[in-house]
Amino acid sequence: MRNMLTCATILIAVIAVVLSSVPAAAEEDWKDMKQESKRMKIDETADDALKTLFAEDAKAKMLYENSYGWAVFDNLKLAFGFSGGGGNGVAVAKESGARTYMKMGTAGVGFGLGANKYQIVFIFQDSQTFENFVDKGWQADAGATASAGTDAAEVKTGFVNGIAIYQMTEKGLMALADIAGTKYWKNDKLNQ
């Protein structure tokens, strides 16, 4: 029981840090935007992330060309002993072009201080993996990593469990970046 209370306290603290650290103007701008404008902003960010990924990693482009679909999420993660973050994204079935808007959230405990803005790109090998991600949501387990760069390319030769994952920051692709503790789910408001 005491461990549950400690975990709940930690989660509340992480959420409070995240909410208080997001620039007020950006939060207000997002809240004031109409649903269509939010979808357009997410789509624009996703398109830019894919272009950047393909320019930096030819293997990612090859996987994309042979995939069923993809998803891109824009995330802001804050750390101050505890870490937390969240963001929005879109999952797209390539053949039909059908778009599902989604959310993501992350929380953790560890050493760190500061903010990190990044995009996560998922490339899905088949329809079942894609549909499970979109319809049931997905949570990265403790061993989940996003692979990119020269070192990671030697280790990772393609899809793992039907998914290839890449993380990009302002500095470019991250090799074996940790995405554990992150959950993805449908954004009901943006899919109306």
Dist CA 157 CA 144 (whole Å): 16
pLDDT tens across 63-91, in order? Answer: 999 999 999 999 887 766 666 788 999 99
pTM: 0.76
Amino acid at 119: Q
User: For residue 45, which amino acid is it?
Assistant: T
Residues 94 and 54: their CA atoms lie apart, in Å, by 16
pLDDT at 179: 66
Q: What is the pLDDT of residues 2-29, one digit of tens each?
A: 665 555 455 455 555 544 444 444 455 7
Nearest to 175 by CA among 146, 143, 154: 146
pLDDT of residue 107: 76
Structure confidence at residue 141 (pLDDT): 61
Q: Identify the segments of the chain with pLDDT beneath 70.
A: 1-28, 30, 79-83, 108-114, 141-157, 174-180
3-class SS of residue 99: strand
Q: Output the pLDDT for position 192.
A: 84
Here the tokens at position 76 are 């802001």
Residue 68 and residue 60: Cα distance in Å, rounded?
14
Q: What pLDDT is attached to residue 13?
A: 53
Q: Do 134 and 96 meet the contact criterion of CB atoms below 8 Å apart? A: no
d(CA 35, CA 23): 21
- At 186 the three-state DSSP class reads strand
Domain spans of the chain? 2-186
